[in-house]
Amino acid sequence: MCAHRVHALLMGGQACVFYGAAEFSRDTDFAILADTANLARLRAALNDLQAEAIAVPPFALKYLRKGHAIHFRCQHPEALRLRIDIMSRMRGVRPFASLWRRRTTIELPDGTTGNLLSLPDLVQAKKTQRDKDWPMIRRLVEAHYFQHRDHPTRAQVRFWLQELRTPQLLIEVAQDRPQLCCRLAPQRPLLGPAVQGQADQLEQALAEEEAAIRAQDRLYWLPLREELEQLRHGS
């Protein structure tokens, strides 16, 4: 991707590893800029990997802009059978231009650099209907909390109050920053029982929050899944 200057951000399980929350993943997932020039660069990178589109939808700009994922399988000997999934639009996630500005850039052991979704954007992208994503969100935010809790910035504390899913840690942060917690409570009502130390109520509220977000994701994907079914029947 870097060699062809593709505007792409690593996300999914492999990005989680860089943020300290290990997840086994057979796929490599990217968020990409969906415009004609970037798709041309992406095609060149995929050609180098001898990657072929699999399943539906086909590799076309209009499907990326609708929110579909496009899947590829690599045939190059050094990446044999590696699956690459690309998306451009995700439910509840900012437009790519914003994701690119907020990206995390890392240096790899060979001296090259790689671009990842920022941690807040990765957490948002993980808020799906899939069972495996919710424990990962919890681990991602926990790892960030334990890494920065001794000297946190205001932005980091705000992130924890908005995204922590571990009741005891959320109570700890809320009671340590009650004024900020109260200001954020209209956006996340479960901060009320958190600042009051009501662990049982908080546990229930977290479960209800997760259920509501899962339901939103199912509704979001319903028309996209219907379109995929039409494409499968058409092929």
Domain boundary residue among 89, 118, 147?
118
Q: Are residues 210 and 140 in the same domain?
A: yes
The tens-digit pLDDT sequence of the chain (235 residues) is 777 899 999 999 899 999 988 766 678 999 999 999 999 999 999 999 999 999 899 999 999 999 999 999 999 998 899 999 999 999 999 999 999 999 999 988 888 888 999 999 999 999 999 999 999 999 999 999 999 999 999 999 999 999 999 999 999 999 999 999 999 999 999 999 999 999 999 999 999 999 999 999 999 999 999 999 999 988 6
Q: Does the residue 69 lie in any domain?
A: yes
Domain boundary residue among 87, 118, 149?
118
- Residue 99's nearest CA partner among 8, 38, 166, 172 is 8
Q: Give the CATH number, domain containing residue 98.
A: 3.10.450
Query: How many domains does the chain fold into?
Result: 2
| Residue span of the structural domain in which 52 resides | 8-118
Q: Are residues 32 and 81 in the same domain?
A: yes
Q: Are residues 159 and 99 in the same domain?
A: no
Q: Are residues 97 and 190 in the same domain?
A: no
Q: Does the residue 195 lie in any domain?
A: yes
Tell me how crowded residue 40 is: count the other CB atoms within 10 A of its CB: 11
Q: Does the residue 124 lie in any domain?
A: no
Q: DSSP state, 134?
A: H
Q: Are residues 79 and 142 in the same domain?
A: no
Q: Does the residue 138 lie in any domain?
A: yes
Q: Are residues 107 and 67 in the same domain?
A: yes
Q: Does the residue 23 lie in any domain?
A: yes
Q: Are residues 79 and 173 in the same domain?
A: no
Residue 7: partners with Cβ closer than 8 Å, 6 or more residues away = 32, 33, 38, 41, 96, 100
Q: Return phi, psi of residue 47, to 5°.
A: -60, -40
Q: Are residues 137 and 199 in the same domain?
A: yes
Q: Are residues 12 and 104 in the same domain?
A: yes
CA atoms of 8 and 88, how far apart (whole Å): 9
Q: How far is CA 187 from CA 85, 158, 184, 190, 218, in A?
A: 32, 12, 6, 9, 22
Domain boundary residue among 86, 118, 150?
118
Q: Are residues 17 and 112 in the same domain?
A: yes
Q: Does the residue 144 lie in any domain?
A: yes
Q: Does the residue 234 lie in any domain?
A: no
Residue 111: partners with Cβ closer than 8 Å, 6 or more residues away = none
Q: Are residues 161 and 197 in the same domain?
A: yes
Give the pLDDT confidence score for residue 149 in this predicted structure: 96
Q: Does the residue 145 lie in any domain?
A: yes
Q: Are residues 83 and 12 in the same domain?
A: yes
